Structures are given as C-alpha cells and as structure tokens.
Amino acid sequence: MAIKVLVVDDSALMRKMLSDILGSDPEINVIGTAMDGQDALKKITLLNPDLVTLDIQMPVMDGLAALKKIMETSPRPVVMISSQQAKDSKATIEALELGAVDFILKPSGQISLDMDTISQELITKVKVAAFAKLRKYEKKTVVHRSFTGATKKLIAIGCSTGGPQTLEHIIPVLPGNIPACILIVQHMPPFFTKSMAERLASISELKVKEAQENDEIKPGMVYIAPGDYHMEIKRVQSGMMFKDIIILNQREKELGVRPNANIMMRSVAPIYKHNAIGLVLTGMGNDGTEGARIIKEYGGTVLVQDEQSSIIYGMPKSVVQAGVYDEIVELSKMPVALLQVLEL
C-alpha cells in the first residue's frame, strides 16, 4: 500500500514541486497539501496521512509550532523541509529533538544539475521515515564516575537518520571527567553539524564543538565532523612528546556520504588499538560496519544500538549481521555501558 503523504509549505511553487517529486514514485501517494501549520493540523485530522513533510518558515503557524501540536495530538513521522540558512539549521535541530524523523534541504525551485539527486533523496527519506520509530528527547541525569588512573581512550561514534535525537540521550548523560575524547560522524549537511554541536554543548558537561583542522584530541572533548568533510586523526610529534590531532578533508564520498564513519574509525583503530571504542547508532545504510571490523581487529571494543531503540535499524543491523561487535545495547543503557568500558 502506498505511503500517504501530506505536503505542507507556504509556497505554492514548492508545494507543487514536492508533490510532483513524491508523486513520481508509485509507492508514495500525496493525498493533500497545506499552506501553513494551522492548515496542516486541519488536513491531518481530515486526511490522516501516514507522513507529513513540513516546511519550517511559514506564516500563521510555523513548522516548529505545528510539529509540537502534531506530536502532542496525533504523532506520526514528519520530515522537515529546511533551507541552508543559519536560523533554519538551528530550528531543524530543535525539530529533530521535538520528534521529527529527518530533514531535507529545500530545492531551489530552479532546474539544476542536482535536481535528480535532490528528488531521489527526498523520496528515499520519506520512504525510510514512514517506518521509523518516533522518539522525543527527555532530559536525563548525568551519570557521575570516578576515573582515577584510567587509561585514556577514544570513542568513535557513527550515526545517520535519528542520530541527533539519539545523541541527546547519550552525550548529555556522560560526566565531564571521562578519560576519553569522543569523535562523532553524523551524516548531515554543512551548517547543521555546527547547530547540533551548539545544542549538545548547551546541555552537556562535556565540551562539544564542530571539529576544526588540528584540534587536539583531549579527554572530555567531543568533536563533531563538519558537514561535507571527512574527519580523521593523526599522531604528530610535539617537542619531546606526541599528540593526536584532527585532520579534515574533502576526498571522495565513501558509501555516498561525507563525512563517513568508516574513514574516521580506520584512522582511530591503529593509533588507539585496544583503547578504541566504536559505537554505531541509528541510521540507514551500512556506514560504520567496516570501521567496526577494523577496530575489533586492533583489539578495540564495539557497541551497537539495539533494534527496539533505533529510530532506523540500518547501520547497527549491518554491524550485527557482520558479527563485528562486542555488545548490543538499548539506548537508555548506552551511557552506563560506555562508562563501564572506559573503566576497564
């Protein structure tokens, strides 16, 4: 049965464009459109769509206000339609926190060489989101630990669809004194990774930032790979000592994504060996599987999110099927599981 979709946007041109793109797929049925959030709420009651695409900036009632109402009164998968403006990137991260499954950058409305790519991305994300598990962030208490004499480790996290919501159940719960640096690859465009880092920094004891070239790997730091940049680490000599730094590059996409978790993990494993911890969270695709295998080959530990708590059980499932993991962990137990590995 086709996925019933309601398209919400204040622009008539954008409503038509999105409807035409989605309607071109036989597995999707655009059953209606709405011109603002208030109109959307009425149409949801009337049409009962399986999924809603929701613009952020609209008159009368904007996307965030409409999303709150949808999640309160008639929860269902929502894909946000966002521009690449700073205010939209912040609002998009907030929307993901409120329960939206995913987002896509708004097409320009002009005929362009990448329109086919945008169309396919929209169709794919709508199909995946239609079967996603809904999750809303709830503030958790920090789990404090004493780490006297603990060996310095590195946690390499890979995630995609559902990642921002999922990370908010992990990073803010970890104490600021952990003997590890955390690297995160979240499949997300430029600007949005910075907004996500700022959001996590505002609710965490750990210091969270979007990674920059030559940032030093230090305990208590969380670095998020910038959108459209691969992130690796490199060990360099500094006087009589050695230090590990972040290297960013825009080499070819791997598995269709940049940043890529495999690339990050491949650089971490030979340097940190048994002190490397790989963590593969919710997301579609299989990025992170090869990285998990390499971390295991060097003696490191790999944790994966379980199916029940994953918004999209794609990346974790791939790791499990490949057998390159140590433990499958439910999301609410993930912070404690990580702390237990750090204490070893």
Tell me the domains of the chain and their CATH numbers: 3-129 (3.40.50.2300), 153-342 (3.40.50.180)
Q: What is the pLDDT of residue 111?
A: 46
DSSP code, position 134: P
Q: Token digits for 39?
A: 């109109």
Given 215, 287, 309, 318, the catalytic residue = 287
Q: How far apart are CA 312 and CA 316, in angstroms?
A: 9
Q: What is the pLDDT of residue 199?
A: 94
Q: Token digits for 109?
A: 């409305």
Q: What is the pLDDT of residue 105?
A: 87
DSSP code, position 311: S
Tens-place pLDDT, residues 175-202: 999 999 999 999 998 889 999 999 999 9
Can you give the pLDDT of all 344 residues of the chain as single tens digits?
Answer: 899 999 999 999 999 999 999 999 999 999 999 999 999 999 999 999 999 999 999 999 999 999 999 999 999 999 999 886 767 889 999 999 999 999 998 865 454 545 666 888 999 999 999 999 887 667 678 888 888 777 899 999 999 999 999 999 999 999 999 999 999 999 998 889 999 999 999 999 999 999 999 999 999 999 999 999 999 999 998 788 899 999 999 999 999 999 999 999 999 999 999 999 999 999 999 999 999 999 999 999 999 999 999 999 999 999 999 999 999 999 999 999 999 999 87
Neighbours of 46 (CB within 10 A): 11
Tens-place pLDDT, residues 203-261: 999 999 999 999 999 999 999 999 999 999 999 987 888 999 999 999 999 999 999 99
Q: How far apart are CA 91 and CA 245, in angstroms?
A: 31
Catalytic (active site) residue 287: yes
Task: Record the pTM.
Answer: 0.92
Q: Does the bond joining 164 to the residue before it have cis omega, within 30 degrees of 0? A: no
Q: How far apart are CA 283 and CA 290, in angstroms?
A: 15
Cα separations in angstroms, 75 against 60, 80, 130, 299: 21, 15, 12, 43
Tokens 């590995």 sit at which residue?
A: 341
- Determine contact, residues 68/100, Cβ cutoff 8 Å: no
Given 160, 195, 267, 318, the catalytic residue = 160
Q: What is the pLDDT of residue 6?
A: 98
Given 82, 187, 204, 215, the catalytic residue = 187
Q: Token digits for 50?
A: 């399986």
Strand, coil or helix: 164: helix
Q: What is the pLDDT of residue 136?
A: 66
- Give the helix ranges, DSSP H, for the chain: 12-23, 37-47, 63-73, 86-98, 115-129, 163-167, 192-202, 261-272, 289-297, 315-322, 334-342
